[in-house]
Chain A
């Protein structure tokens, strides 16, 4: 019995000492220095899924595969891209709820040591992933935007590697699909960025995405668009938002 007690005590001491030793070091290091994976560079959409909903504009009124709520149906059926253009709302399908599914290229860089920047050539959007989030009490007071406010954390795996987790809120209402399937300003987007090697030596970026909306979705909408790494930005082609295409 005494041996067991000693064992527990020794383990507890060893464990807490380890944790104490790691905490200051982790706090002092920037997110860039602590990066579990490196997702910087140019990436291109590789559209092997949801092709019919991403590469062309689907028929008005079609929301197959999206668990839209009853409240969303009138909005889906009233979609009017010309009206969106006139209202200057042509970027509604380029918000954080859909931007990673829009076929195009990503340019991911470190804006500073604690902020990852994702630029898209399709729709010319910029997402900022903050590893040092602002005070949560004031976060809700910032203006809503297409890309909202994103907080990021590394999820390192023992032995190396891991994942990037991003939580986004404070969004302008937008579309989950080009043909006007809506998400509301209460939407949150949770993404996990993972890397995988390809047989030809390339890299694949997989973005596991869970979109939750208490207004226009009956259940979380889950998609996982993926991107191939490109050697440089020679194919980067900034294109403004379009409400119809």
Chain B
């Protein structure tokens, strides 16, 4: 009897000290005080280290592609988890026999597919398995963080500005919780389109109210006839290539995502040539999160 009690104690004490895990299920509202993409500027590759091929391909992108009826409900890939404006609606799926978490599901938004993080050590699919927008994600706990890796996604975009991400890319995730804030760290590596990883961290605050971003995508005519040509630009003549440069006097190599622009040396390099833009007079505050299109 005593041995059984001691064994049960070990289980209880072990469980109570298992602070390597945190409660992830719930609703997490986006904090939105950091800027990754200015969203409404078509050519904005700030903070990226792109290959020449990626830059050229991005410059061919015309955002009106998304008005084509066959692309309207395509949605965005896994990276949009930290690039999009929405919060996290996380549920956990529990094995009723073992009481262990089998998976976490981050609920879909109207233009983003749900992400399932499998926690049961299942094998990763074959390299020849079907690739999807969401990809396949395995997770585990490590040093107090939820660690996950996404593979098997379709080639897509890492920015809404048409910056591509290949189907050879891998996204490593870390979810840290400190108090009521979860920080999601994304490290995307892509041998085709990124010279260095795209690293984005985004904060979310525990929401007392459930979030619900589900909305069925309904297609409609947006000016493109079925079977019409795919809208695109000649990369050498993209009409928006200089818009961001002119708007904020930014160096072109920074807007176009050259590697050197991510490091402090670059700041020193442009110190004597940079001309600050005129004082801000419109949409200058916290609510003006997106730049004004000219």
Contacts and interface: CB of A to CB of B under 8 A. Distances in A.
25 contacts: A10-B2, A14-B13, A46-B263, A47-B262, A47-B263, A48-B48, A48-B199, A51-B254, A51-B261, A53-B35, A55-B266, A57-B274, A59-B280, A60-B279, A61-B281, A66-B286, A104-B264, A155-B144, A163-B144, A163-B176, A208-B201, A222-B33, A222-B203, A224-B202, A237-B268
Contact of B19 (A18, A64, A103, A158): A158
A171 interface: no
Contacts of B199: 46, 48, 204, 226
A26 interface: no
Given A44-B263, A47-B262, A52 B35 contact: yes
B26 interface: no
A188 to B, nearest CB: 14
B264 A62 contact: no
B274 A56 contact: yes
Interface of A: 3, 6-7, 10-11, 14-15, 18, 37, 44-53, 55-68, 103-105, 122, 155, 157-163, 165, 192, 194-196, 198-199, 204, 206, 208, 210, 218, 221-224, 226, 235, 237, 239, 245
Contacts of B1: 3
Given A55-B261, A157-B143, A210-B181, A66 B9 contact: no
B35 A64 contact: yes
Given A48-B199, A224-B183, 8 more contacts: A56-B270, A59-B276, A59-B278, A61-B281, A65-B286, A198-B187, A237-B268, A245-B271
A226 B38 CA distance: 20
B284 A63 contact: yes
B200 interface: yes
A90 to B, nearest CB: 15
A44 B187 contact: no
Contacts, number: 200
Nearest to B285: A63
B178 A162 contact: no
B94 interface: no
Contacts of A55: 254, 261, 266-267
B192 interface: no
A199 B172 contact: yes
B33 A47 contact: no
Contacts of B36: 48-49
B5 interface: yes
Given A46-B199, A196-B187, A222-B33, A61 B143 contact: no
Q: What 10 pairs across the A-B complex have the smallest Cβ distances?
A: A161-B143, A157-B144, A62-B280, A48-B47, A61-B280, A224-B201, A103-B264, A60-B279, A51-B46, A158-B20
A177 to B, nearest CB: 12
Given A59-B248, A63-B284, A65-B286, A15 B32 contact: no
**Which residue, of A15, A162, A224, has the highest number of chain B Cβ atoms within 10 A?**
A224
Given A3-B1, A66-B286, A199-B187, A194 B13 contact: no
B143 to A, nearest CB: 2
Contacts of A224: 34, 183, 185, 201-203
